[in-house]
Amino acid sequence: MKKLIAALCSAAFLTLSLTSCGDAGTAPAPDFESPAYSETPAEPTPDGTIHAIRSPAATEAISPAADRLVPYDGIVEHLFFHTPIAYTEQAFDGDSQEEGFDMYMVTVEEYKKILQSLYDKDYIIVNMNDVWNEYADESGSPYMKRETLMIPEGKKPIIISFDDISYYEYMMDNGFPYRLIIGRDGDIWSYGKDPAGNEVISQDIDCVTILDKFVKDHPDFSLGGAKGLICLTGYNGILGYRTQTDSKDSSPEFEARRQSEIARVKPIVKRLKDTGWYFASHSWGHINLNTASFSKSKGDADRWMAEVGSLIGPTKLMVYPFGSRLDGDDVTKTGEAFRYYHSLGFRVFASVGVESYSKIKKEISAVICDRMHSDGVTLRHERNRYMKFYDAAEVWDDARPSGSSKYTRDW
């Protein structure tokens, strides 16, 4: 286990505000119901797996069909991003949030170059759900198993995840889109305003739509259509829709508005899942699970299940806010809060580290792992470590701030 090198996510992510972003959306009315979260105890399936949440496309044709598939048991790299900065002139405007944006985000231009570099270095995106699955042993006891991946010869598997894809209210007019929407073509687009206040509907300024387009142009960058893992909190809703409850407002008007936001986001969730995206919990309140009491961890998990799990469906993936492991440490012990998350169906628990570490726990059926962070911190100070993915000097966006001791770089 390598020690964490950065506490992730600025405190600004904890800004709690219930102000709506106030713009009429363009998403069509929903015409389906998303599946309710099931708390039914797991039963082994005919092939022995339980809690087998797999990517639907992964069992279908793997592109390109002509490639020879070979077994892969090596390290599956895992790289994660926050929402990239679309308008650097807003994010890097010298205000109190500038330093956080510089540290924890890449810009859209950097993000595009990083995807191109990953592709050029023969990485292929895989779905994290296909890397680990739960089985039952002869006595019926569950355990997690690392699957042997079948990938095109010469390719290297990578999981890509995206934290806090909530289009938080603190990000409004700070250089980011406002939310995801579905266009008339049925595809995902982003909606927002440019710095001049013009409405912008685009597929070129958001992490989701940029990756969708990249995979469409380079189908051999994705195994079975796998895209990214979207890690969601709940306190500002999800995907730019204010679906959260408010303990201070139980008025019918608030609930009616919340229900209309839920109706608008459901087709977005469905479209994302249909096109290879999948979801993880990132806690409801972006709380520090390392230091939280059991009752706080449990209450937060219950609220996430009710307000986010109910919208995205079952997931076995938990991505720690700040990379902070449950109960102070889940590497050497399995605490009460870890067991509670386990009882909710979570099996893979991801933190942050200096390599794509993973470990199957022995005393409970679970996996703990680390992800590497693609952001300003590592662009500035970890060029060598990330060279296997991209060269910071080549992807660097000159729009990043400079001229202060806060904004040095090691190359």
Give the pair of three-digit tokens for residue 223: 């195994």
132-136, strands of its sheet edge to edge: 49-50, 132-136, 142-146
Q: Which of 163, 169, 330, 382 forms a contact with Zn ion (CB under 5 A)? A: 163
Least CB distance to Zn ion at residue 283 (A): 8
CB closer to Zn ion, 164 vs 327: 164
State the DSSP code for 347: -
Nearest to 9 by CA among 191, 162, 206: 162
- Of 1-9, 116-124, 175-183, 327-335, which part binds Zn ion (CB under 5 A)? 1-9
**Minimal CB distance to Zn ion: which residue?**
9
* Spatial separation of the C-alpha atoms in residues 198 and 213, rounded to whole Å: 23
Interaction mask 242-281, Zn ion, x per CB under 5 A: ----------------------------------------
CB closer to Zn ion, 58 vs 287: 287
Q: Which of 6, 9, 50, 62 forms a contact with Zn ion (CB under 5 A)? A: 9
- Of 8-16, 142-150, 309-317, 342-350, which part binds Zn ion (CB under 5 A)? 8-16
Q: Which of 77, 130, 164, 307 forms a contact with Zn ion (CB under 5 A)? A: 164
CB closer to Zn ion, 164 vs 212: 164
Which pairing describes strands 149-152 and 156-163: parallel, antiparallel, or unpaired? unpaired
SS3 assignment, position 142: strand
- Of 84-92, 169-177, 290-298, 314-322, which part binds Zn ion (CB under 5 A)? 314-322
CB closer to Zn ion, 149 vs 232: 232
Phi first, then psi: give them for residue 308, nearest 5 degrees.
Answer: -115, -50
Is 120:194 a contact under the CB 8 Å cutoff? Answer: no
CB closer to Zn ion, 104 vs 214: 104
CB closer to Zn ion, 62 vs 85: 85
Contact status: 230 vs Zn ion (CB under 5 A): no
Query: Site residues for Zn ion, window 180-209 (CB under 5 A)?
Result: none
Least CB distance to Zn ion at residue 376 (A): 15
Least CB distance to Zn ion at residue 221 (A): 25
- Of 4-12, 103-111, 166-174, 356-364, which part binds Zn ion (CB under 5 A)? 4-12
Is 394:374 a contact under the CB 8 Å cutoff? Answer: no
Query: Site residues for Zn ion, window 68-107 (CB under 5 A)?
Result: none
How far is residue 96 from each of residues 12, 64, 161, 400, 404, measured CA to CA in Å?
10, 47, 27, 15, 14
Q: Report the largest interatomic distance among the alpha carbons of the chain, rounded to a whole angstrom.
A: 65
**215-234 burial by CB neighbour count: b if 16+ within 10 A, else e?**
beeeebbbbbbbbbbbbbbb
- Of 5-13, 48-56, 358-366, 386-394, which part binds Zn ion (CB under 5 A)? 5-13
Least CB distance to Zn ion at residue 140 (A): 37
E strands, 92-195, in order: 123-125, 132-136, 142-146, 149-152, 156-163, 179-182, 188-193
Which pairing describes strands 199-202 and 358-360: parallel, antiparallel, or unpaired? unpaired
- Of 22-30, 67-75, 96-104, 158-166, which part binds Zn ion (CB under 5 A)? 158-166
CA 237 to chain centre: 15
Least CB distance to Zn ion at residue 320 (A): 9
CB closer to Zn ion, 77 vs 164: 164
Least CB distance to Zn ion at residue 69 (A): 35
Q: Which secondary-structure segment (H or E) carries 351?
A: strand 348-352
Nearest to 205 by CA among 83, 349, 28: 83
List of residues contacting Zn ion (CB under 5 A): 9, 163-164, 321
